[in-house]
Amino acid sequence: MLWFVLKRLAGFLATLALASAVIFAVLELLPGNAAEVILGDTATPEAVAALQAQLGLDQPPLTRYLQWVAGLLQGSTALSISYGTPTAELLAERMQVTLPLALLAMLITVVLALGLGVYAAARHHRLGDVGVMTLSQLGLAIPNFWFAILLILLFAVQLQWVNAGGFPGWTEDGGGGLWPGLQALLLPALSLALVQAAILARMTRSAVLDVLREDYVRTARAKGLSRRQALLRHGLRNALIPVLTVAGLQFANLLTGTIVVENVFVLPGVGRLVFQAVSNRDLVVVRDVVMLLAALVVLVNLLVDLLYAVVDPRLRQAQAV
């Protein structure tokens, strides 16, 4: 088990190193001078030269790359051109919205998908199965930004149960708090969870149906267990292995795919930050945001690999041999 964890951790670090090199190289290969891109066509040569010195663009690329990586490791990031604030502070502030939003959306996704997927598999080829598959097909077809607008029209405009957008904060200063913050994230989380729950429900149904056809489940049924008892006691854990893979990818997708939804609900998260950074030509923020999201995606994949070893004992035995 220890060797398995060490190998996954080494792969995690190697992937992060490769991702940082790719991100830096892509920004380096952008046409034109980065300082001119940030300041625009009307900037004077003196202003361009001053910004180049501020960003360190007058140094060799390798030196700038090493300085950037060293700053990330030390928590000492560059100043944002638009905000005049270190990008680490901006990201820490915005992640207080994006991370809870992604976690809430993932919680809704897992609860809906597992419940509906197991329900559909237990009623294979019956009305419940057909109904769940129809709903999941509709969920796949509806764009999350359009569903977000429908949620705003229904719950914020017509029923007036929640605000149409904005985020009050997690502290009670200025009218915020835990409950108001969760209320502000509920509709965005629902709009994000729609497509993901539809995908995961179909995956759960397929995984459960495959497990129900296994010999050990037939043996459990032959011993007198009902279909439901055999599934819950013997089959559900094995069915979770492919579901974990999809769920891990979905959580990474939720972290990186909040740009549209955060702009629809005017949430001050990472997605809105990177949208504003692109609009303001703030390449410093764009670089660090992309690196953060890449690191989160790789971290989620690492955690999913470790969960495999917890769920599937065969993997632990194979690593021990």
Residue 20 near residue 69 (C-beta atoms within 8 A): yes
Range 2-29 average pLDDT: 84
- Above 80 in pLDDT, residue 33? no
SS3 113: helix
Per the model's pLDDT, the better-predicted residue between 211 and 40 turns out to be: 211
> pLDDT (tens digit, 9 = 90+) per residue, 228-278?
777 777 667 777 778 888 888 888 888 877 888 888 898 998 988 888 888
Instruction: Give the model's pLDDT for residue 224.
Output: 78
pLDDT tier, 108 (very low <50, low <70, confident <90, very high otherwise): very high
CA distance 271 to 296: 14
Range 3-10 average pLDDT: 80
CA distance 25 to 42: 27
What's the predicted TM-score (pTM) here? 0.84
Complete DSSP assignment for 192-251: HHHHHHHHHHHHHHHHHHHHHTSHHHHHHHHTT--HHHHIIIIIHHHHHHHHHHHHHHHH
Instruction: Give the model's pLDDT for residue 105.
Output: 92
Per the model's pLDDT, the better-predicted residue between 126 and 225 turns out to be: 126
- Above 70 in pLDDT, residue 34? no
Q: Where are the domains of the chain?
A: 2-74, 94-313
CA distance 72 to 65: 11
Flag the least confident range among 84-98, 192-206, 224-238, 249-263.
224-238
Instruction: Give the model's pLDDT for residue 317.
Output: 58
Average pLDDT, the chain: 83
pLDDT tier, 125 (very low <50, low <70, confident <90, very high otherwise): confident
Instruction: Give the model's pLDDT for residue 18.
Output: 92
Flag the least confident range among 26-30, 68-72, 161-165, 250-254.
26-30
Instruction: Give the model's pLDDT for residue 111.
Output: 92
Residue 296 near residue 252 (C-beta atoms within 8 A): yes
| CATH classification code of 94-313 | 1.10.3720.10
> pLDDT (tens digit, 9 = 90+) per residue, 212-223?
777 777 787 787
pLDDT tier, 101 (very low <50, low <70, confident <90, very high otherwise): very high
Backbone angle region of 175, left / alpha / beta, with phi > 0 → left and psi within -120 to 50 → alpha:
left
Instruction: Give the model's pLDDT for residue 30.
Output: 66
CA 242 to each of CA 88, 246, 248: distance values in angstroms, whole numbers, following the listed order: 35, 7, 10
- Above 80 in pLDDT, residue 23? yes
Instruction: Give the model's pLDDT for residue 80.
Output: 83
Torsion of CA 126, 129, 134, 135, to 10 degrees: 140
Highest mean pLDDT among 1-5, 78-82, 261-265: 261-265
**1 Cβ neighbours under 8 A, 6+ residues apart:** 309, 316, 319, 320
Instruction: Give the model's pLDDT for residue 104.
Output: 93
- Above 80 in pLDDT, residue 167? yes
The tokens for 257 are 């795919």
